Amino acid sequence: MARAAGPGSVPWGGLERRMRSEWLAVVPALMLLTFLVSYFGAHAGLGRLDHLFYDRTLGAAGHTAVRDDIVIVALDDGSIDELGYWPWPRSVHARLLDRLRDAKAVGMDIVFNDPNPAYPDDDRVLARALAEQGRVVLPLVVSESGSGAPLPMLASAAAGTGYINAHLDADGVVRSIVPRRVDAQGRSLDHFITALLDAGGDGAQASALRRQGSKPRLIYYAGKPGSFAMYPYARVLKGDVPTAAFAGKYVLVGAWASALGDVLSAPLSRAGEPMAGVEILANGLQNALDDSWISAPGRWQTAALSMLPVLLVCVALRRLSPRQSFFASGAALVAVFVADWLLMRYGHMWVPPAASLVGVVLAYPVWSWRSQEAALRHIDYELQKLQDEKLLQARPLPDAAGGLPESSLPARVVKLHNAIALLRQSIGQREETLRFLSHDMRSPQNAILALTQLQRYGQTPLPQKSLLDRVDQCARKTLALVDGFVQLARAESMTMHYREIDLVDLLHAVCDERWPVAQRRKIAVAFDSQAVQARVMAEEGMLARAFGNLLDNAINYSPDGSHVLCRLTRQGAHWVAAVQDKGRGISAEQQAQLFVPFRRLHDGAPGNPVGSGLGLAFVHAVVLRHGGAIAVQSTEGRGSTFSVTLPAYDSPA
């Protein structure tokens, strides 16, 4: 439902427009940043972070069941101890192949690219064994100089060859294989796994893998090292393992002993325990047979998917409070990891999360910064508008406490707090004004109307002199109220024009002005100051009227023939002007209400001077506007002393 337009809708609408503009600027910027980080992140160092997340996610996604038709014959340390130092005669491998005659296919992860002069006949023996088995694949190693192919005699006897070079990521971890690659002579070579699938009669899987070309295929590892069935080479050779254990299965023969060096880091490797190269081949073979590779979108698709969490977080930040936004951002970070785990576990899909994490992490502080700036600019605008419209009593807002820079958040909050305080004061003054108009101003006017009605319609009209005296008294009271109220309003709201004045001269003049009034009641007014000059920065007219009010009260509330003293002293960096009388005094309870407007002491008491209750409120307002303070010391029946403290102004030499 649309909000109806009203007086309060304009500021909110302005703030809403600012927020919307900031949001429309922040969102594209964060989205573009996330896209660039995702697209070029691998070249900017984020690839290592994505690799770390990949390994942890793969480990947490759970292990798959290991196929029972893939077994490993391992050249382990025990076999080396039993059969002697490596390399063994190739006739030994021929004997092993005789034990593996019923295997579906045999992958010999052993390089035979050099003749063995010590056993010249062994190559023919091994070639005959390869031909008799008929489904053996031999490896070749691709180097810059070409392909390290097996000896021609062995290569022609084997069912096929394939390269076994490990595809290492930048951190040296094997996470994928490349189905096809080109050697230095420009020949296209199949991977060892592809050739093994062909030898085993799984041509469809081999063709599917071959169609991937040079695009890396991420391996979904079955588990930690040692997950596949493994038989020691020596035990198989001796016949301790029946040939039926290999019937109809893929058999991989390769190094398992640490001394042979064919070990590599894999995502699920335990700390300090890398995975044998032959077991990495076993994992790749299982992925090819089950088509369980981990798929990954291209760079463009990855960048687009990375922006999605950032967009969702930005939408949430626009609608939530700062506290809710903080927790929403944290929840989004967790959601990115959970989504990656779910995709890995149930979809065998990997979307690198580093770019999304960067975007989500930046979204909260960036939006907080921009929304805060927008809100503060709006506050500054509204405060300035209040001052321009004279709604803050025409006072400049006080400076921020503690000397903070005006543009800082604490300084602007202090400024807002001061403005609110001034507005509260304005509201209070409005209430006082309404009360003044509704009661204090109406009371003498009602009295005048009552007198005129009594005079016009009463049976015993007042004598003319008595009537005029009473009307005069009511009129004077009205004028006194109006004058006091106007002066108080001016003291609280007018723009002060401060200049350097001499407090000694000002107090002398104020005391001299009250001398005739005091003389009529034989009250002595004295001024005492040890200072020749007392310089202060002040609005001279306002300050003179304030001290005049204090002296008027001292004279009015003092008995005839008494003494009123005005004393000026220096206390540190301040001047203190004290007005002392010998009047009736003020109780502690009355002192608490002394400077409240429209509060009169001893109101209705015999001989109480006529007044409006605004004089001391005016004095209090003027003193505060001058950066000073006012205090009273009084004892009932023994007089009162009002002390005004003002900052001294020492002119530069």
Model confidence band, residue 454 (pLDDT cutoffs 50, 70, 90): confident
Sign of the four-CA dihedral 157, 68, 59, 290 = positive
Q: What angle do CA 465, 468, 473 make, to 5 degrees?
A: 125
pLDDT at 134 over 70: yes
Model pLDDT, residue 484: 63
CB–CB of 297/112 below 8 Å?
no
pLDDT at 444 over 80: no
In three-state secondary structure terms, 564 is strand
Phi then psi dihedrals of residue 294, to 5 deg = -85, 120
pLDDT at 560 over 60: yes
Model pLDDT, residue 163: 92
pLDDT at 31 over 90: yes
Q: What angle do CA 207, 210, 211 make, to 5 degrees?
A: 90
Lowest mean pLDDT among 163-172, 238-247, 604-613: 604-613
pLDDT mean over 596-604: 58
Dump pLDDT digits (tens) for 99-130: 999 999 999 999 998 887 878 888 999 999 99
For 84, residues 6+ apart whose C-beta sits below 8 A from its C-beta are none
pLDDT mean over 246-264: 86
Q: What angle do CA 143, 144, 146 make, to 5 degrees?
A: 65
Model confidence band, residue 354 (pLDDT cutoffs 50, 70, 90): very high
From 378, 385, 392, 396, select the one nearest 423 (Cα to Cα).
392
pLDDT mean over 155-176: 91
Distances (CA, A) of 455 to 23, 448, 478: 75, 10, 21
Phi then psi dihedrals of residue 64, to 5 deg = -90, 160
Model confidence band, residue 378 (pLDDT cutoffs 50, 70, 90): confident
Q: Record the pTM.
A: 0.64
Cα–Cα distance between 253 and 181 in angstroms, integer?
23
pLDDT at 355 over 50: yes
Annotated domain spans of the chain: 18-58+297-368, 65-290, 390-435, 444-491, 495-647
Amino acid type, 613: G
Model pLDDT, residue 488: 63
Q: How many CB atoms lie within 10 A of CB 385?
A: 12
Cα–Cα distance between 131 and 154 in angstroms, integer?
9
Residues 346-367 as b or e (16 or more Cβ within 10 Å = b): eebebbbbbbbbbbbbbbbebb
pLDDT at 56 over 80: yes
CA atoms within 13 A of residue 437's CA, in its CB half-sphere: 6
Model pLDDT, residue 485: 64
For residue 518, give both structure tokens. Answer: 């005091």
Lowest mean pLDDT among 144-158, 272-286, 424-438: 424-438
301 compared with 120, residue with greater pLDDT: 301
Model pLDDT, residue 271: 60
In three-state secondary structure terms, 591 is helix
Model pLDDT, residue 25: 92
Q: How many CB atoms lie within 10 A of CB 389?
A: 8
Helix residue spans in 118-170 (DSSP H): 122-133, 152-157
Model confidence band, residue 588 (pLDDT cutoffs 50, 70, 90): confident
Selected from 3.30.70.120, 3.30.565.10, 1.10.10.10, 3.30.230.80, the CATH number assigned to the domain covering 495-647 reads 3.30.565.10
Distances (CA, A) of 235 to 81, 126, 242: 12, 20, 10
**Continuous segment of H or E residues that includes residue 283:** helix 277-290
Amino acid type, 620: H
493 compared with 314, residue with greater pLDDT: 314
pLDDT at 605 over 70: no
pLDDT at 566 over 70: yes
pLDDT at 185 over 90: no
DSSP label of 651: -
From 114, 167, 357, 159, select the one nearest 250 (Cα to Cα).
159
For residue 547, give both structure tokens. Answer: 């001290």
Cα–Cα distance between 33 and 446 in angstroms, integer?
76
Model confidence band, residue 71 (pLDDT cutoffs 50, 70, 90): very high
Model pLDDT, residue 7: 38
pLDDT at 446 over 80: no
pLDDT mean over 463-471: 77
- Provide the β-strand partners of residue 74: 232, 254
Model confidence band, residue 282 (pLDDT cutoffs 50, 70, 90): very high
438 compared with 373, residue with greater pLDDT: 373
DSSP one-letter string for 386-449? HHHTT-STTPPPPPPGGG--TTSHHHHHHHHHHHHHHHHHHHHHHHHHHHIIIIITHHHHHHHH
Phi then psi dihedrals of residue 536, to 5 deg = -140, 160
Model pLDDT, residue 480: 66
pLDDT mean over 398-408: 57
Model confidence band, residue 531 (pLDDT cutoffs 50, 70, 90): confident
DSSP one-letter string for 511-543? HHHHHHHHHHTT-EEEEEES-S--EEEE-HHHH
Cα–Cα distance between 274 and 499 in angstroms, integer?
85
Cα–Cα distance between 525 and 548 in angstroms, integer?
12
Average pLDDT in the chain: 83
Cα–Cα distance between 556 and 581 in angstroms, integer?
10
pLDDT mean over 258-278: 80
Q: How many CB atoms lie within 10 A of CB 392?
A: 22
Model pLDDT, residue 13: 59
Q: How many CB atoms lie within 10 A of CB 2?
A: 4
Model pLDDT, residue 599: 58
Q: How many CB atoms lie within 10 A of CB 258?
A: 13
Model confidence band, residue 217 (pLDDT cutoffs 50, 70, 90): very high
Give the end-to-end CA distance of the chain in Å, rounded to a whole number. Answer: 68
Model pLDDT, residue 603: 53
Phi then psi dihedrals of residue 31, to 5 deg = -65, -45
DSSP label of 260: G
Model pLDDT, residue 8: 38
Cα–Cα distance between 337 and 297 in angstroms, integer?
17
